[in-house]
Structure 1
Amino acid sequence: MRLYISRRKIVAIKRFFNRYKTVLTYFGLITLTISNIFLRRDVIELELELQNIKNENQSLIADMVYFNRSFEDFPLPVWQKVKRDGKFVMQYVNKAYYERYLIPRGLDRYDYMGSTDFDIYDYKTATIFYARDLSLAIDGDWKRFDESILDAETSERIKLDVFKWRIIERKDTLIYGMVVPEKMK
């Protein structure tokens, strides 16, 4: 089947577009302008939301730095983990933790930040730490655990008595831990 368009139809279509060219042009411009106004409004809302998130983030960082500074010269090893994507990521260790557990392993304090227990400890130890952190994140009560890690110098297991507690700060789950000395048991 062949499509047949007569010369008369072509001339009629051409006259129609010539006659209403201005109206069609302005209709297109009005449509683009209206859609641009709606898009601009959405962009402004997103920029405001982004600014609010940045302000909250700065406030959270300031709170975290202030809170962690209170543990910096604390004589017992203290650490902080944050739950990200189903993992507990090390976010802070105090000076006592660094000197007692990281220096013997040859780790720098800031290399340790951002890593998980699976990056640092053997699989068995890391799995136990993860399970306990997860139960604490769900339950929320502070708990006392008997934990053990491999000593970096002797390769023997060291038994530790550990207090852990949870803090929820602006939808972040923070897990704090502290090694308790033998005298307090």
Structure 2
Amino acid sequence: MKLADVGDIEDAMEKAVESTHRSFNTIRTGRANASLLDKISVEYYGTPTPLKSLANISVPEASTLLIQPYDRSTLSPIEKAISLSDVGLVPNNDGQVIRLNIPPLTSERRQEFVKIAHKYAEEGRVSVRNIRRDGMDFVKKQEKSGDISEDESRDLQDTIQKLTDKYIAKVDEALAEKEKDITTV
């Protein structure tokens, strides 16, 4: 990745944090949330297709997800994809729609989800650190080639480090929030 300036570095770090947020949204918290099904792909005419492009997903109640396929012939493949996924929900197919009842989480299951959230947060931190490393390398190469002075290089490196600290703090903040969501009964 070639990062031309501090603005590019900040944009890349922002995207890493957004990606971490999206990962957090796929973790169940005991309440129905359509984003739980974001990572599910359905085999549709031999092609893995995202579930949300094959069906309307709604939340009629706090503990129920309703999946209404645009094409009824996809009911069975959707049901199969949900059963095989790691969301841990049992689909109920009535021939028209699929209902997913979200059971209350046990304390053991909550702890598993907290561990998964920690894993996603660490992946986010690693992404931010990789962006920092790429930015620092770019600045050092510019200094070595004489494009910028030693002082400018040091200032840019300090700025990149401050951005890194800021975005890692955002990941930690998001983790704390998700952990609270998961452990709240």
TM-score, normalised via structure 1 length: 0.26
Q: Kindly indicate which of the two structures has a greater share of residues assigned to helix.
A: 2
Greater relative CO (CA pairs within 8 A, separation 6+): 2
Q: Kindly indicate which of the two structures has a greater share of residues assigned to strand.
A: 1
